[in-house]
């Protein structure tokens, strides 16, 4: 069985952290929650540092600073009406999976956020990967109604992994 996530490591700290196994576990849980086949889909995750993600953030979003996670859906899948579920993609063949998109995650920002929030980095990174994958699947948080749908899915997916609601301890 081919992995769902193709992990590209640019920063060796991600290798030592176990990003590949963590990303696969997070994405498989998200796909199962959404009742999408595990086979027939693929996503790429880049494990990088703040310097690299700052360049990507500047190039693609016009924001020349680091961020925790970025995602690039392979196609527009968003719902037409705020607060509605997006149209989820059909799986491709096992040997030619449907490409959902690409994600990048930055070591320093993730480590700083996890420490500031008083949570294990693995829990925080799992949440960010689920968040990024949901973006690749057409979920967004631009409108409050869309954010509510996306956050509900995040909380439910993380619960299947035994992780707490990441929004409960949200700063005011």
Residues 27-42 have a mean pLDDT of 95
The residue-averaged pLDDT of 29-38 equals 95
Segment 55-112, tens digit of pLDDT: 999 999 999 999 999 999 999 999 999 999 999 999 999 889 999 999 999 999 999 9
Q: Output the pLDDT for position 51.
A: 98
Mean pLDDT, residues 24-44 taken together: 96
Looking at the structure, give the CATH architecture of the domain made up of residues 5-160: 3-Layer(aba) Sandwich (3.40)
Q: Is 124 annotated as a binding residue?
A: no
Query: pLDDT-based confidence at 169, cuts 50/70/90?
Result: low
Question: Does 33 belong to an annotated binding site?
Answer: no
Instruction: Report whether pLDDT(170) > 60.
Output: no
Return the SS3 of 102.
Answer: strand
| pLDDT tens digits for range 111-156 | 999 999 999 999 999 999 999 999 999 999 999 999 999 999 999 9
Q: Is 131 annotated as a binding residue?
A: yes
Indicate the pTM of the whole model.
0.95
A 10 A CB-CB count for 118 gives 7
Domain edges within the chain: 5-160
DSSP sequence for 31-85: HHHTT--STTEEEEEEEE-HHHHHHHHHHHHS--S--SEEEEESS----SSTTSP
- Put the strands of the sheet holding 69-73 in their side by side order: 5-9, 41-48, 98-106, 69-73
């Amino acid at each position: 069985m081919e992995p769902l996530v193709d992990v590209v490591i640019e920063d060796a700290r991600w290798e030592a952290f176990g990003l590949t196994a963590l990303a696969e576990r997070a994405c498989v849980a998200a796909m199962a929650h959404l009742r999408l086949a595990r086979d027939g889909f693929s996503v790429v995750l880049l494990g990088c540092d703040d310097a690299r993600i700052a360049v990507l953030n500047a190039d693609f979003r016009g924001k020349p600073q680091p961020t925790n996670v970025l995602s690039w859906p392979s196609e527009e899948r968003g719902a037409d009406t705020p607060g509605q579920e997006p149209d989820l993609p059909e799986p491709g063949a096992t040997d030619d999976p449907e490409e959902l998109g690409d994600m990048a995650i930055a070591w320093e920002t993730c480590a700083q956020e996890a420490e500031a929030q008083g949570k294990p980095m693995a829990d925080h990174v799992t949440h960010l990967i689920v968040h990024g994958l949901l973006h690749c699947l057409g979920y967004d948080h631009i409108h409050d109604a869309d954010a509510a749908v996306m956050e509900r899915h995040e909380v439910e997916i993380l619960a299947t992994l035994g992780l707490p609601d990441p929004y409960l301890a949200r700063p005011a």
